[in-house]
Structures are given as structure tokens and as C-alpha cells.
């Protein structure tokens, strides 16, 4: 059985979620928000950071604007439980992708998703597409819909 590339796997999941996307690859990488913004020529605020937190034993995905930081107290308050940032092996187990390339959907298990409202200030944002050198543009409202994300002020 042929091995499916992470980008191809993500693209299939995105299309199944109703997103019409075009993945772009950058050999120099898009691992960080700054790298991704420089590669595509957009504001760092337009980069979607896909961050996994552990709420007790359950992974939760936070889609955060690239220039923002998650306020962990606010996130814990929203979730009603203590949280911590997930480790690399927990991220891979929950999403099927490595840190630096974690896309906002198409994960190994369905993840509760929280979306930073600052992303909705733009008509277009950019998110990882499964690898540290792949990225795609998307309307943030379509992303909220595709992820069934809750838009909550959890950043500082």
C-alpha cells in the first residue's frame, strides 16, 4: 500500500470538510509564524498557529493569530479545567502531524477547537498544511465553520 504524504492526507481532509484550498510549499520552511509570514508576504497576524493543549487528558486545539500568545488562564477558564501545552508526542498522537506543520483540521481524533477572534479581522489567513514547509490560504470564517471552532478571546 503506498504511503500517503502528509500534505495529500491533509488536502483530502480539508476538501471533505468543505474547504477549497491550494497548498503552497516553501523549501526554506514555514515552521514558525514569522517564517510563514515572510514566505507568503503577509502580516504575522494572518498566520494561524495550530497549538495543542492538554485539558486533563483530552487534547484541545487552539487556532491562534501568529502575533498573539495564548493566555493559558483564559483558556483554562473557558475549558473549565487545568491545561498545559502538549508535548511533541502528544501533538502527533492527537493530530497525526508534527509540531511546525500541524494543520487546523483533519486530525487523528476529532479535537475540540478554540479560535482566536483576532483571526477574523482578516479576509484571508494562512495555516499549516501538514508539513513544516507547506501552507494554505483560507477565509477565517470558513476555517471556523470547517473546524466547528468556538471563537473565544483567549489570547494576550
Q: In this predicted structure, what is the pLDDT of residue 75?
A: 98
The rounded Cα 99 to chain-centroid distance in angstroms is 10
Kindly tell me if the per-residue pLDDT of 83 is higher than 50. yes
Give the 3-state secondary structure percentages of the chain, helix then strand then coil, rounded to 5. Answer: 35, 25, 40
Query: Could you tell me the pLDDT band of residue 4, with boundaries at 50, 70 and 90?
Result: low
How would you write 66-85 as a 3-class SS string? CCCCECHHHHHHHHCCCEEE
Cell numbers for 131: 508539513
Q: For each of the domains in the chain, give its residue range(s) and CATH number, in order of start.
A: 6-151 (3.90.960.10)
Average pLDDT over residues 144-149: 96
Write the pLDDT tens digit of every residue in 86-111: 999 999 999 999 998 999 999 988 89
Q: In this predicted structure, what is the pLDDT of residue 28?
A: 87
Write the pLDDT tens digit of every residue in 6-36: 999 999 999 999 999 999 999 888 888 999 9
Separation in Å, CA 75 to CA 28, 36, 107, 138, 148 = 33, 25, 21, 24, 17
Amino acid at each position: 500500500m503506498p504511503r500517503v504524504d502528509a500534505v495529500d492526507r491533509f488536502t483530502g481532509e480539508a476538501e471533505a470538510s468543505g474547504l477549497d484550498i491550494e497548498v503552497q510549499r516553501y523549501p526554506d520552511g514555514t515552521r514558525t509564524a514569522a517564517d510563514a509570514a515572510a514566505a507568503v508576504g503577509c502580516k504575522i497576524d494572518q498566520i494561524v498557529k495550530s497549538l495543542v493543549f492538554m485539558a486533563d487528558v483530552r487534547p484541545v486545539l487552539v487556532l491562534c493569530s501568529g502575533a498573539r500568545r495564548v493566555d493559558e488562564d483564559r483558556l483554562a477558564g473557558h475549558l473549565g479545567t487545568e491545561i498545559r501545552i502538549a508535548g511533541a508526542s502528544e501533538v502527533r498522537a492527537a493530530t497525526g502531524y508534527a509540531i511546525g506543520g500541524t494543520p487546523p483540521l483533519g486530525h487523528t481524533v476529532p479535537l475540540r477547537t478554540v479560535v482566536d477572534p483576532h483571526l477574523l479581522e482578516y479576509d484571508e489567513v494562512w495555516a499549516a498544511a501538514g508539513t513544516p514547509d507547506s501552507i494554505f490560504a483560507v477565509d477565517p470564517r470558513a476555517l471556523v465553520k470547517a473546524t466547528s471552532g468556538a471563537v473565544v478571546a483567549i489570547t494576550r
